[in-house]
Amino acid sequence: MQSAVLGEGWGLPWVASHPIAYPALEVLHITGIALLLGSLVLLELRVWGLAPELPLRPLARLALPVTLAGFGLIVCSGLLMFASQPAELMANRAFLAKLALVLLAGLNAAWFHARGSLARCDRLARAQTVLSTGLWLGAIASGRWIAYL
């Protein structure tokens, strides 16, 4: 049954029923997660003072496009997977928690960049990196729980 909020017939049920489409989207989604989290963690470790021989600004210039590409891959594949069963996902607490955590991670990233945390590398910048990693790991864990709730 389709949600009244989403409208009758909304969605792409063929994505879920196609033998290759949904698994391929999951692979793309996981690849995006790896790109996003991998590049973030490297930059965050540098903010914490690891590998001081690596200049922070050039590392950030390399990491940001990789992070954004990963996020773009996550969004595109996630939207297509969502479209396969929108009503069910909107009723799933793990999915809603995942969306909330992704929103909080995005707000934290905006705050990190708006306050110039990369240039400061102070205690608050380090706390923001811990928060960032925690929020993304929470989003990943919530995503895995979607199938079980």
pLDDT tens across 46-56, in order?
Answer: 999 999 999 99
In a domain, 103, yes or no: yes
Q: What residues make up the domain containing 36?
A: 15-148
Identify the pLDDT of residue 10. 55
In a domain, 5, yes or no: no
Reported residue count of the chain is 149
Give CA separation, 59 vs 95, 124, 149, in Å.
Answer: 33, 20, 39
The DSSP letter of residue 92 is -
Residue 137 has pLDDT above 90, yes or no: yes
Number of domains in the chain: 1
Q: In angstroms, rounded to a whole number, what is the distance separating the alpha carbons of residues 77 and 79? A: 6
72/148 Cα distance (integer angstroms): 26
* pLDDT on residue 11: 67
In a domain, 1, yes or no: no
Note whether residue 7 is domain-resident: no
Please indicate, yes or no, if residue 8 is contained in any of the structural domains. no
pLDDT at residue number 91: 97
pTM over 0.75: yes
What amino acid is encoded at 46 in this protein? R
Calpha distance 10→100 (Å, rounded):
23
Residue 9 counted as domain residue: no
